[in-house]
Amino acid sequence: MTNDSFRRDLNRAFEAMSGPPSPALSARVRSALSEPAPARPGPFWIAGLAAALIAAIVIGVFVVSNFNRHLTSNVPGALPSASPVQTPPDSNLPAFVCGSSAPIGSQNAPLSAYIDAVRTGTHTGYDRVTIEFQNGLPSSVDLRLQGNSTFTNSPRGDNVTLAGSAGLLVVIKGADEHTAYIGATDFKTNYPVLLEARQMEDFEGTVQWGLGLSKSACYRMFTLASPQRLVIDVQAG
């Protein structure tokens, strides 16, 4: 027996024992090698837990905020965040005076009371002038009625005639209107009684305002705190 014959006989014997390779098995092997490996699932449970915690924190803050707001609005004596300037009701104000009146002032007045605001307004039954002070009330305030609306512009000395046929001069001692006040110095109001309010003097610690009135009228003068201010009402009717 030659060597070639021996190898052919050996191959036939080996194939008889193992059998030829299966075509289906080869196809499955090639398919498995060609498909990409499946992606490994990420830690989705960690992301879900984080989202749940954030939602819980947001809901908790919202609930606590509403609860605190409810408590604040129902506690007796609780103050709002921004409180407007309050004026007492008319029943608590002084009576109107139709003639001369005594001056008013502060015993603890600063060396110079700085005016930082002047306002006018009209209300049912009276017109109002409010003069606000930055550092305390002045030492003296005096009102002087006059039968015309002509005032002396001090210290220049010239005369100024305001709207109206009567006047009321406001004389404030121990005051300063040029340091802290940057508002208007002439208000043409055209209210029922108060027609015009104009600064007549701001010199050497004295401030004067002339009020031009549509007629001779009764008035009242008083002070209020928080902030410190002088209020002058001129009666209408």
pLDDT in tens, 101-160: 889 999 999 999 999 999 999 999 999 999 999 999 999 999 999 999 999 999 999 999
Residue 224 has pLDDT above 70, yes or no: yes
Exposed/middle/buried for 78, CB within 10 Å: 0-12, 13-18, 19+?
exposed
- Per DSSP, 132 falls in state E
Q: What is d(CA 164, CA 173) in angstroms, rounded to the nearest whole number? A: 26
Tens digit of each residue's pLDDT (9 = 90 or more) over 56-113: 665 554 444 454 444 333 433 333 333 445 566 676 899 999 988 889 999 999 999 9
Q: What pLDDT was estimated at residue 115?
A: 98
Q: Positive or negative CA dihedral for 187, 188, 189, 194? A: positive
Residues pairing with 212 in the sheet = 167, 196
CA 91 to mean position of chain CA atoms: 31
> Which domains can be identified in the chain, with CATH numbers?
101-235 (2.60.40.3500)
Mean pLDDT of 213-219: 97
Residue 140, beta-bridge partner list: 173
DSSP result, 67-116? HHHHHHHHSTTPPPSSPPPP---GGGSPPPBSS----B--TT--SSEEEE
CA distance 176 to 99: 28
Rounded mean pLDDT, 1-7? 57
Please give the pLDDT value at position 101. 84
Q: How far apart are CA 140 and CA 20, in angstroms?
A: 126
Q: What is the pLDDT of residue 61?
A: 47
pLDDT of residue 72: 36
What was the pLDDT predicted at 180?
98
Closest-CA residue to 141 (of 181, 109, 180): 109
What is the distance between the alpha carbons of residues 177 and 144, in angstroms, rounded to a whole number? 20
Q: How many CB atoms lie within 10 A of CB 137?
A: 24
Mean pLDDT, rounded, for 200-213: 98
Check if the beta carbon of residue 199 is closer than 8 Å to that of residue 185: yes
- Report pLDDT for 9: 62
pLDDT value, residue 64: 44
Per-residue pLDDT reduced to its tens digit, 156-194: 999 999 999 999 999 999 999 999 999 999 999 999 999
Report the candidate in 230, 199, 235, 200 with the shortest Cα–Cα distance to residue 214: 235
**Token pair of 72, please?**
């604040």
pLDDT at 4: 60
Q: Would you state the pLDDT for residue 76? A: 39
Instruction: State residue 33's pLDDT score.
Output: 45
What pLDDT score does 44 carry? 55
Residue 20 burial (CB count, 10 A): 6
Q: Is the pLDDT of residue 48 over 70?
A: no
> Above 90 in pLDDT, residue 53?
no
